[in-house]
Every structure is written in structure tokens, then in C-alpha cells.
Amino acid sequence: MLRKLLDIISNILPLNPLAGKEEALAQLNPDKIYVENISALLDVSYNSAKAICETATRQGLFNKGIEVKCPDGRVAFEAPEETRLPETVTCWVEEEGHLEAREMDTNALEKNIYYRLSDSSRVAHA
């Protein structure tokens, strides 16, 4: 995984900003790469990191996804795009010391964009 992501980033960026950051890179989850991860890893602004992720997506190296989080921070649902999210999701909410399943409006919950290594980039850089 480390080598694949290094290859992908070096194809996008002219210099290797990851020199000496191999341990941090190895801790990334290739199925859930957030803009914040890239921003911290490359020491660039959020907007620059987002542009890198979007470029990798256009080049077929990353796939984009969106997740909906319950109030407790757990992911309730994932989809490749926001239009494919359901109107409601089930979240577990503590009520008087007991957990209860509750249907919650997706629009009222936190959503996060994430990226994952595409299957083609996993094969191409293996």
C-alpha cells in the first residue's frame, strides 16, 4: 500500500513531499482517505489537498465516496455520491441507559467526503 500511494502522489506532484513520512503514510487506510489526511501528510492547505484528491479521482487513481455519521460518530451509511444516500438511516441512541435504534433524517446528520484507492490503481501499482 505504501509504495502504491507514493507512486500515485509522485505522479501528481513534481517533488516528493513524503520523504521521511513513510510511517505516517503507512498508517493511512487505503479505503478511507480524507482530505484532512492528505493535508496533514503533505503539509498543504485543505484546498490544495482537496485539489490533489480530486485530480487523483479524475485520473482514475481514487474513487470518491460519502459517508453519513450518526450523532455518536459511527458511520451509518456510505455511497459513491450524495444523491445515492437514503432519506433516513438507523442510528443507535442511548436513552435512559439503554441503546435504542432510531430512524434519523440523513440531511440532519454529518456527512464526510472520502477517497479510496481505485481497484485499477491497486493493480497498476502492485
| Tens-digit pLDDT profile for residues 33-84 | 999 998 888 888 999 899 989 998 998 889 999 999 999 999 999 999 999 9
Whether this model's pTM surpasses 0.85: no
More confident residue, 9 or 52: 52
Across residues 117-125, what is the average pLDDT?
64
C-alpha closest to that of 63 among 80, 50, 79: 80
Question: 14: Cβ–Cβ under 8 A, 6 or more apart, which residues?
Answer: none
Q: In what order do the strands lie in the sheet with 110-117?
A: 75-79, 62-69, 110-117
| The pLDDT value given to residue 125 | 44
C-alpha closest to that of 42 among 62, 76, 16: 16
What whole-number distance in Å separates Cα of residue 47 and Cα of residue 41? 14
Q: Where are the domains of the chain?
A: 2-64+118-124, 66-112
* Structural contact between residues 81 and 92, judged by C-beta atoms closer than 8 angstroms: no
